Amino acid sequence: MSTPPSIVQKFAAARHDRQLAVLEGFHAVKHALRFGATIDVVVGTNANEVDHLAEALAPDIRDQLRHGLQVVDGEVFSRLAPHAPPSGVLAIASRPPVDVGDLIREPHARPIVLLEDPRNLSNLGACVRVAAAADAAGVLTTGRQDPWHPEAVRAAAGLHFALPVAHVEESWFPGRPLVAVDPGGAGFRPSRLPGRAVLAFGAERYGLSQHLLEAADERISIPMRSGVSSLNLATAVAAVLFAWRLASAHGPDA
């Protein structure tokens, strides 16, 4: 009979498994539970401290956390992540399946965020976090990074579970206008943004590819003070999504 993998082996394997997500820190685990994640294992170093955190910050998930928590000692915990989170909580969850075709066909007037080959995982996670907060339809990425990388999930505070997030090979979205968000575009009028747009943002250093700029139905820019070359990627996503949200039926006057 084979022995079950140790918790250290389990976390190490989960980091390379595209069906699984490693959740680092209390907030990531909190959002995953709140948005219906299927959790495989939750570990912590101190059950009382985790319980107090849940009581103070997330009473809605306190019972789930309390019943599921597996306590491990500090030495084992420090081997489960490259930078063990100070909150002393880590988990492994199943990634929810995403049907990109269904996402594209979603009838609601909510944009999809497309990140073209983002390089920085913290930036990528910050984009997912703001897209979830603005109630965007989903986040799609192209290029080299896995949008579910533990570093991106940590930066998103686990909000990958709040909306569809997936990697795609093709930037082709039938039935949805493709809007290139680019410092060289025309001045952005939030109330004119098509509700079902795919909003494409470029890589941190290089911006959008020529191919995507040419494929776009329109190019828009966020006005900036003279002398400033560009905004940080996640900041640009936040500016466009919240301008859209405040100007649309989702806004405060809705």
Ligand X SMILES: C[S@@+](CC[C@H](N)C(=O)[O-])C[C@H]1O[C@@H](n2cnc3c(N)ncnc32)[C@H](O)[C@@H]1O
**Shortest gap between Cβ of 3 and ligand X (angstroms)?**
48
Stretches 31-39, 131-139, 168-176, 197-205: which one binds ligand X (CB under 6 A)? 197-205
| Residue 171 in the binding site for ligand X (CB under 6 A) | no
User: What backbone torsions phi and psi does residue 248 show, to the nearest 5 degrees?
Assistant: -105, -175
Smallest distance, Å, CB 240 to ligand X? 8
Question: Which C-beta is closer to ligand X: that of 65 or that of 136?
Answer: 136
User: Are the C-beta atoms of 129 and 122 separated by less than 8 Å?
Assistant: no
Provide the minimum distance between the beta carbon of 249 and ligand X in the complex, in angstroms, as a whole number: 24
- Taking the complex as a whole, how short is the minimal distance between the CB of residue 179 and ligand X, in angstroms? 10
Task: Compute the distance between CA of residue 43 and CA of residue 248 in angstroms, rounded to an integer.
Answer: 42
Cβ-based nearer residue to ligand X, 49 or 204: 204
On the 0-12 / 13-18 / 19+ scale of CB atoms within 10 A, 93 is: buried
Beta bridge partners of 31: none
Q: In the complex, what is the shortest distance from the CB of residue 227 to ligand X, in angstroms, rounded to a whole number? A: 12
Interface region with ligand X, contact rule CB under 6 A, candidates 13-21, 23-31, 39-47, 199-207: 199-207
Nearest to 166 by CA among 204, 124, 195, 199: 124
For β-strands 138-141 and 39-44, DSSP reports them as unpaired
Q: Is 183 in the site for ligand X (CB under 6 A)?
A: yes
Tell me which stretch binds ligand X (CB under 6 A): 95-103, 154-162, 175-183, 246-254: 175-183
236 lines the binding site for ligand X (CB under 6 A): yes
Interface positions, 51-80, toward ligand X (CB under 6 A)? none
Q: Select from 47-55, 56-64, 99-107, 204-212 the region that touches ligand X (CB under 6 A).
A: 204-212
Contact positions toward ligand X, by CB under 6 A?
A: 181-183, 201-202, 204, 207-208, 221-222, 224, 230-233, 236
